[in-house]
Amino acid sequence: MNEAFFDKKEYKPLDRVDGRLKVTGAAKYSAEYPLPNMAFAVLVGSRIAKGTIKSIDSKAAERAPGVLAVISHLNAIKVPGYQPKGEHPSEPSTNGQPLRVFFDNKIVSNDQPIVAVVATSLEKAQYGASLVKIQYIKEQHKTDLEANAGDAKLAAAAKKNPKSPTADYDRGQKDAFESAPVKFEAEYVLPTEVHNPMELQSIIAHWEADNKLTVYDKVQGTKMTQKNFAKEWDIPEENVKCIATFVGGAFGNGLHNWPHETAAIIAAKQVKRPVKLVLTREQMFTMVGYRPRTWQKIQVGATRDGKLVAINHQSIGQTSSYEEFTESTLMQTRMMYASPSVSTRYRILPLNVATPIWMRGPGEATGAFALESAMDEVAHAIGMDPIDFRLANYTESDPDKNMPWSTKYMRECYEEGKKRIGWKNRKLKPGEVRDGEWLVGYGMGTGTFGANRGPATVHAELDKEGNLVMHCAITDIGPGTGTAMVQIASNTTGISTDKITFHLGSSEFPNAGLQGGSSTVNSVGPAVLAACNALKEQLITMAAAKGNSAFTSAKPDDLMFNKSELQLGGKSAKTTLADLFKQNNLEKIETTNESKPDENRNKYSMNAFSMHFAMVHVHPFTGQVRVKKIVCCADAGTIVSPKTAESQMIGGATGGIGMALTEDAVMDHRFGRYVTKDLGDYHVPVHADVPDIDVYFVNKPDLLADPVGSKGLGEIAIIGVAPAIANAVFNATGKRVRELPITPDKLI
Amino acid sequence: MIQFQYERASTAKAAVNALTNNANAKIIAGGTNLVDLMKRNVMAPTKLVDINALPLREIRQQDGKISIGAMALNSQVADDKLIIEKHPLLSQALNAGASAQIRNMASVGGNMMQRTRCHYFYDTALPCNKREPGSGCGAMEGMNRMHAVFGTSEKCIAVHPSDMCIALVALDATVLVTGPKGDRRIPFEELHRLPGNQPEKDNNLQKDELIISVEIPDNSFSKNSHYMKIRDRASYAFALVSVAAALNIEGKVIKEARLAMGGVAHKPWRLKEAEKALVGKPATEETFRQAAEIAMQGAKAYKHNAFKLKLGPNVIVEALKNAAGLV
Ligand SMILES: Cc1cc2nc3c(=O)[nH]c(=O)nc-3n(C[C@H](O)[C@H](O)[C@H](O)COP(=O)(O)OP(=O)(O)OC[C@H]3O[C@@H](n4cnc5c(N)ncnc54)[C@H](O)[C@@H]3O)c2cc1C
Ligand code: SF4
């Protein structure tokens, strides 16, 4: 193992390697490739939630200046991959038949894309789109989760496989809750939330030849996209190229290929020109997924001195009528606390809405709102400090999987978080602390997410000047992947960071999975490590072959660059890169290395953990909540890029503030249509909502999880924030809000 | 968005003429509201008359009043020394609206004429009597958390979204307009209207009238005024409820009072009865509570906005407390 390597060096904060490109506008996002002869497509969405299209009158649109085509199910070319009963090409978790755009006249959700108007400019396409007249035959729709909760069902995957994470789960004694000395029961509701990254979903589809497709596409997986479109268009994978060099935030909505992408590809084929399609902000609410509205009920049984006896946790999350989206809402209830009895019941409810998709902290963030609120409520009921209550039920190993943790450093997080937030100022009884007119409250919540890892391959090239250039298909949706990889390479080789380049975001590059599930550093990082070590081995072999005996038995870990010199285990330089390359008559050396999860995954339970602390002020008469301070503690393994990692935590906490206090996609169920669907009405936190966010990393490597020692960060950054704030609001006011967001009307 | 003509007016008269000659023409000032509405096909003027070149940006002290040009920017007014000194309430209200970027574009005239933010008004797939008379009021039985509790009609329950206007109505402002028949003055309270049977009409300006300026008479409120806005996030959101409170306190007794509310009616809602209840009383929380109760008389809630009946009086009390320096 690599322990020595980590003992030797410390990862230092590094500015984003692409920061300058981003702030100067030089970074190119999907919609920013000026291809010659480009056409522009605008999508028209349905105005009913269920039914059929009776007629489409496109005459006026077709006659409008600059309009090249008006495409719908009436005239769209046949997409070879539209199987009548096809399975989803990529997403196991959205089991079912993804929406086939322009396939037939069926309407399955409101604002479903049904017509594309393609024109020579965006404005002309927009004008054309305003002229299309569509008539519908309406059918009764169902969009209301609570009203239709009775129709909730087990996911197909769970029916097939009782071991599936969404299957019913029981541990311990069935009726343990009933006989517990302290019984607590409550329901919690999380509204639909929408990712709303800054960058709108956009694609340029370009058929370079009849069977050769290039897409500049805002996605979280270039290889996934390549595979999906190869399948959809029945062309060889190598004929599809997906470019996503820069992605302006995604939070999960790029983990699925959506109908608008296929619409652009169809349009490009039909007008025989590259077609650019950018969704509107409103379409971001209806066409690219969202965090599903979820109802939860939780029962917690405990002893009077704070030992958990049982937790029963059930949830119903909405999905579309055509795909079964599931997420891990109830998973942490099984493993976070040492409750001898645990039951979970996960259900989905198909409605006439579009398919949801993973959104930051998917499932866990939803589940944590219920679980961590309930923990706070029980602690209050038995008069115990909520941290003491959690510590009394700390799990030393995973009670769900019956395996030891690879690492778990939550005790450190409790200690540090308490100190930093000023927990000692918290009173057990709510409503006791004031600052002027304002009530002051403290709360906390924990979170966890699997330390996921998948296979990844990196190609690396070292030239005689000591420049290291790497390539990998992974995307960077904002966390600073390039920066992190440069830091890993620099720490592994000793090459200074300004001589290292990491190219990403193209399906032309070596394989990597999706940027999702906090798996990038854990998956691609080890491949970078492997490639760097392979290069070092080549250098050692070269040096040894030239009679440099000190190198004969050297290991990659012994070799480090010191500027252009190669040093062995701290001894003085034996050779220089230039000499070595010259002696061997080489311009560069290169390597391609894959790194994969190993058998440790069958022996240990691997999780990253987070803990958020909030201090809030609540105005007793106006109901305003001001988050005054947030402390984020993370046990995420090695922090390879301290600066971007801190930014990740700040971003996650900010998302958590939105979840707790402001974000709510409100639907009018009479129409099955959202009414808050722009950034004026759907409130993401603004600067004034976001206080100082103090970040603490345990920063201890988990070398069982992967050779970099990292456990992932993106998801845990948000999980637990909303309950921390809700708990703080309760501590301030004595009012418990169980349906998010906590807006002023709920507190007066 | 439909295709439209664009004309840059060089005099107020030319602007008025352009409006008179085209029933579908509209003034464009900062464009921060009108362009959004055009993009969503909620409004579809066939001609835009740009008044940015008109000399209407000045803020002037005249005898006994301050005059603010219709094209003065929201940010310009909010930051103006004279305004901050004489009418801090207006400065506060402006700064409580929108974002710095929008305030840098938005004009005083445009702010007055901005249209409701009712969700149904904005979505052409949904019914709305204001946008499409006779199509029904989507909000009445729908999502009406943001909607009015005063002065509603069977046809419309929308609110006027402006913050600036709440301060202006409290400060007894007067609007100067010019039209084909010449100039006229409209007391601010009469500028906007209740929906009644014609929710499509937001205000009493004629189609071809142009706002030239707004005047605020000098007063004795500068020491004791406060604008309080309660919203769903700390900044950059429309009011759930807002209150403009202005007091003239001598000794401990209230000599004069002005009170207006936003987020509760189709027009900036002046609370004259409550004002009367304040005058001659000591500036105490109890006095304020009594006035707040009077202020809320006649309020009527819908499915999702009942909270305004409780939040409203609380905000009145808080705003008055702040104005009186009790907080
Ligand atoms: C995201 C967002 C948030 C906002 N939040 C708030 C808020 O919290 N509080 C708030 O008060 N406002 C808010 N606003 C609204 C903003 O204040 C208005 O958009 C702005 O004041 C309009 O001014 P404008 O000059 O841009 O008007 P324009 O958009 O140019 O015009 C608006 C209307 O006024 C008419 N008009 C303009 N000038 C004149 C004139 N001189 N005579 C006659 N008619 C005229 C136009 O014909 C048009 O109908 C927000 C706006 C946005 C987009
Ligand atoms: S409240 Fe007024 S603006 Fe809103 S839907 Fe009803 S009529 Fe339209």
The domain spans of chain B are 5-52, 224-323
Boundary residue ending a domain (A229, A262, A286)? A286
pLDDT recorded at residue A553: 86
Alpha carbon nearest to ligand 1 atom 16, residue: B111
**In ligand 2, which atom is closest to the CA atom of B157?**
1
Are A402 and A327 part of one and the same domain?
yes
Q: For the purposes of burial, counting CB atoms within 10 Å of the CB of A179, is it exposed (0-12), middle (13-18) or buried (19 or more)?
A: exposed
Looking at residue A712, what is its pLDDT? 97
Among B3, B101, B232, the strongest candidate for a mutation testing the A interface, having the largest count of A CBs within 10 A, is B232
A741: preceding bond cis by omega (within 30 degrees):
yes
Give chain B's end-to-end CA distance (angstroms, integer): 49
Q: For chain A, what is the domain count?
A: 3
Query: Chain B contacts of A661, Cβ < 8 Å?
Result: 233
Instruction: Note the pLDDT of residue A91.
Output: 53
Q: What is the distance between the alpha carbons of residues A314 and A168, in angstroms, rounded to a whole number?
A: 9
What's the pLDDT tens digit per position in B95-130? Answer: 999 999 999 999 999 999 999 999 999 999 999 999
Buried b (16+ CB within 10 A) or exposed e, A577-599: bebbbeeeeeeebebebebebee
Q: Are residues A722 and A665 in the same domain?
A: yes
B28 lines ligand 1 (CB under 6 A): yes
Q: Which of A94-98, A141-145, A508-512, A711-715 has the lowest mean pLDDT?
A: A94-98
Burial (0-12, 13-18, 19+ Cβ within 10 Å), A210? exposed
Strand order in the sheet with A607-618: A433-435, A438-450, A607-618, A625-635, A692-697
So what's the pLDDT on residue A7? 47
Mean pLDDT over all residues of chain A?
Answer: 95
Mean pLDDT of A187-216: 98
Helix extents (H) in B108-236: 108-113, 119-122, 164-170
Is A715 known to be catalytic? yes
Contacts of A657 in chain B (CB under 8 A): none
CA dihedral A233, A237, A238, A239 (to 10 degrees): 0
| pLDDT band of A89, cuts 50, 70, 90 | low
Tell me, what CATH number does A94's domain have?
3.90.1170.50
- Contact criterion met (CB < 8 Å) for A675 and B240: no
Backbone angles phi, psi at A443, to 5 degrees: -150, 165
A629 beta partners: A615, A692
Q: Are strands B5-8 and A667-668 parallel, antiparallel or unpaired?
A: unpaired
Shared domain check, A231 and A84? yes
- How would residue A548 be classed by pLDDT, with cut points 50, 70 and 90? confident
Position B219 confidence tier, pLDDT thresholds 50, 70, 90:
very high
Considering only CB atoms, B232 lies closest to which of A127, A436, A683, namely: A683
Would you say residue A8 has pLDDT above 60? no
CA of A660, closest CA in chain B: separation in Å?
A: 11
What single DSSP character describes residue B297? T
pLDDT (tens digit per residue) in A293-313: 999 999 999 999 999 999 999
Residue A317 domain boundaries: 151-192+290-452+602-746
Please tell me whether residues A320 and A380 are part of one structural domain: yes
* A435 in contact with chain B, both atoms CB, cutoff 8 A: no
In chain B, what residues touch A686 (CB-CB under 8 Å)? 99, 233-236
Strand-pairing partners, residue A627, are: A616
Quote the Cα angle for B52-B33-A202, to 5°: 110
Does any domain span residue A23? no
Q: Can you tell me the distance from the alpha carbon of A471 to that of A453, in angstroms, rounded to the nearest whole number? A: 19
Q: CA–CA distance from A118 to each of A46, A124, A257, A267 (Å)?
A: 17, 8, 21, 7
pLDDT above 90: residue A315: yes
Q: Quick check: A431 contacting B, CB < 8 Å?
A: no
Of A675, A683, A748, the CB nearest to B307: A748
Which of B123, B234, B317 is facing A689, going by the closest CB pair? B234
User: How far is the alpha carbon of B106 from chain A, nearest alpha carbon, in Å?
Assistant: 16
- Residue B197: count of CB within 10 angstroms of its CB: 12
Is residue A160 in a domain?
Answer: yes
pLDDT over 70 (residue A607) = yes
Q: Are strands B25-28 and B47-50 parallel, antiparallel or unpaired?
A: parallel
**For strand A607-618 and strand A438-450, is the pairing parallel, antiparallel, or unpaired?**
antiparallel
Q: How far is A566 from A548, CA to CA, in rounded Å?
A: 12
Q: Check B233 against A662: CB less than 8 A apart.
A: yes
Residues A468 and A576 in one domain: yes
DSSP states of A236-268: -GGGEEEE-SB----TTTTSS--HHHHHHHHHH
Q: At what angle do helices A481-493 and A520-545 cross, to 10 degrees?
A: 30
Q: Which residues in chain A have their CB less than 8 angstroms from residue B318's CB?
A: 619, 621-622
Ligand located closest to B161 CA: 1
Is the pLDDT assigned to residue A108 strictly greater than 80? yes
The CATH number of B224-323, from 3.40.50.300, 3.40.920.10, 3.30.390.50, 3.40.47.10, is 3.30.390.50
Question: How many Å apart are CA B182 and CA B239, to the nearest integer?
Answer: 36
pLDDT for B40-64, tens place per residue? 999 999 999 999 999 999 999 999 9
- At A457, the amino acid letter reads T
Give the residue, out of B120, B147, B194, with the most ligand 2 atoms within 8 A of its beta carbon, to mutate for a pocket test: B120
Ligand closest to the CA atom of residue B119: 2
Q: What is the pLDDT of residue A6?
A: 36
CA A474 to chain centre: 14
For residue A4, name the pLDDT band (cuts at 50, 70, 90): very low
Q: Specify whether A679 is located in the same domain as A576.
A: no
In a domain, A155, yes or no: yes
Q: Which strands, in side-by-side order, build the sheet including A39-45?
A: A67-71, A113-119, A39-45, A275-278, A202-209, A212-217, A240-243
> In this complex, do B123 and A673 lie within 8 Å of one another by their Cβ atoms?
yes
What is the SS3 assignment for A700? coil
Contact A623 B230 (CB under 8 A): yes
| Residue A408 belongs to some domain of the structure | yes
Q: Which residue's CA lies nearest to atom 6 of ligand 2? A: B137
pLDDT at A90 over 70: no
Rounded to a whole number of angstroms, the distance from the CA of A50 to the nearest CA of chain B is 14
Query: Rounded CA gap, B55 and A264, in Å?
Result: 48
A475 touches chain B (CB under 8 A): no
Q: Is residue A2 part of a domain?
A: no
Q: What is the complex's ipTM, to 2 decimals?
A: 0.97
Interface residues of chain B, partner chain A, Cβ below 8 Å: 1-3, 41, 99, 117, 119-120, 123, 125-126, 138, 141-143, 145, 228, 230-238, 240, 307, 310-311, 314-315, 317-318, 327
Nearest-CA distance A679 → chain B (Å) = 10
Q: What mean pLDDT is predicted for residues B247-262?
A: 97
Are the beta carbons of A442 and A728 closer than 8 angstroms?
A: yes
Helix axis angle, A259-271 to A222-233, nearest 10°: 50
* Spatial separation of the C-alpha atoms in residues A660 and A222, rounded to whole Å: 33
Are the Cβ atoms of A685 and B119 closer than 8 angstroms? no
Nearest of A256, A264, A690, A717 to residue A479 by alpha carbon: A717
- Please name the residue of chain A whose CA is at the shortest distance from the CA of residue B236: A686
Domain assignment present for residue A386? The answer is yes
pLDDT at residue A321, rounded to an integer: 97
Spacing, Cα A680 to ligand 1 middle (Å)? 14
Fold of B5-52: 3.30.43
In this complex, the residue of B138, B232, B327 whose CB is nearest that of residue A437 is B327
Name the pTM for this structure: 0.97
pLDDT value for A10: 85
Answer yes or no: is A8 within a domain: no
Cα–Cα distance measured from residue A240 to residue A236, given in angstroms and rounded to the nearest whole number: 7
Per-residue confidence (pLDDT) for residue A517, from 0 to 100? 93
pLDDT digits (tens, 9 = 90+) for A615-647: 999 999 999 999 999 999 999 999 999 999 999
Reply yes or no on whether the pLDDT at A376 is more than 90: yes
Give the length of chain A: 748
Does one domain contain both A414 and A364? yes
B8 strand-pairing partners: B50
Give yes or no for A687 touching B (CB within 8 A): yes
Phi, psi of A503 (to 5 degrees): -90, 135
Ligand 2 proximity of B269 Cβ (cutoff 6 Å):
no
| Residue A407 shares a structural domain with residue A366 | yes
Residues A691 and A218: beta-carbon distance below 8 Å: no
Q: What number is the average pLDDT over the span B234-239?
A: 98
User: A178 with A309, same domain?
Assistant: yes
Ligand 1 center from residue B107 Cα (angstroms)? 7
Asked if B188 contacts B172 with a C-beta cutoff of 8 angstroms, the reply is: yes
DSSP string, B124-164: TTS--TTTSTTS--TTTSS--TT--SSS--SS-------SH
Give the pLDDT score at A276: 98
Predicted local distance difference test score (pLDDT) of residue A570: 63
Judge whether A309 and A301 are in contact, CB under 8 Å: yes
Looking at the fold, whether A238 and A120 belong to one and the same domain comes out as: yes
Let me know whether A430 and A521 are in one domain. Answer: no
The CATH number of the domain holding residue A510 is 3.30.365.10
Decide if A146 is inside a domain. Answer: no
